[in-house]
Amino acid sequence: MINWTFEAALKTSADIVQVATDSEKIFNLFPSANTVMTSSNHLSGTDRVYEAVSKIGLNDDDVIVNVQGDEPFISPKDINNIFNLISKEEISMATLYSDSTSVSDLQDSNKVKILVNNGIASNFFRETSLKDNIYIHQGVYAFKYGTLKNFVSWEPSDNEKKYKLEQFRAIDNGIKINAIKSVSKIHLGVDTEEDLKKANEIAKEDSYK
């Protein structure tokens, strides 16, 4: 699963593609040039990404795209699109979303919902009864390096701890998160055993590619 995500990233225009992990097992699966061993004490994936990229020597305006390893069906086009979006001077953080497919999506706490207004992520939900401008959040973030440095310097916000959603740390500290619609054919973040079963069924088919 992680390898498929990694291979998608290699097909993008990214200058550097790295797997950041605290697992020796995962570390040993990939070429050493593309793997960074990180601390096991990070509070969020974003904190882990910062540790990895802080060793590269980036400028504040350089762009980092964080694609979580449980996104095996992500299209390289999505990664390039979010890169192109955040490369604009006025944008400091961005994420992806897709259409909600059913009412049950709104009630499934494992599927994070996003409220999008005029291209801006206004709010995030585990569960919601709202329907207008509500979409499914895709676990991909892009940052300017300067914004990422600020993010990790802040303590987790109350909303972040309450909802277990790290993006609230940015919103609660005044960061505007731009949002762009995903173009991937399949949207499946593998967060539960049921998700893994679905992913295995999809993987048996060729049509998702």
- Res 152: pLDDT: 93
> Given a cut of 80, is residue 12 above it in pLDDT?
yes
Lowest mean pLDDT among 45-54, 63-72, 162-171: 63-72
> Given a cut of 60, is residue 207 above it in pLDDT?
no
> Given a cut of 70, is residue 190 above it in pLDDT?
no
Q: What CATH number does the domain containing 178 carry?
A: 3.90.550.10
Average pLDDT over residues 111-129: 92
Residue 209 lies in a domain: no
pTM of the full structure: 0.86
Beta-carbon count within 10 A of 138 CB: 26
Of 169, 178, 188, nearest to 143 by C-alpha is 178
* Count of the separate structural domains present in the chain: 1
Residue 205 lies in a domain: no
- Res 130: pLDDT: 83
Domain that residue 76 falls in: 2-192
Average pLDDT over residues 164-177: 95
Residue 13 gets the label, from left (phi > 0), alpha (psi -120 to 50) or beta, of: alpha
Dump pLDDT digits (tens) for 59-108. Answer: 999 999 999 877 777 899 999 999 999 999 999 999 999 987 677 778 88
- Residues contacting residue 127 through CB under 8 Å, at least 6 positions apart: 106, 107, 108, 109, 113
In the block, which residue shows the tokens 């790290």?
166
- Res 45: pLDDT: 85
Residue 144 lies in a domain: yes
Residue 12 lies in a domain: yes
Residue 58 lies in a domain: yes
Lowest mean pLDDT among 14-18, 26-30, 43-47: 43-47
- Res 120: pLDDT: 96
Q: How confident is the model at residue 54 (pLDDT cuts 50, 70, 90)?
A: very high
Helix (H) or strand (E) holding 151: helix 145-153
Residue 207 lies in a domain: no
- Res 187: pLDDT: 62
CB of 178 closer than 8 Å to CB of 120: yes
Residue 202 lies in a domain: no
Residue 179 lies in a domain: yes
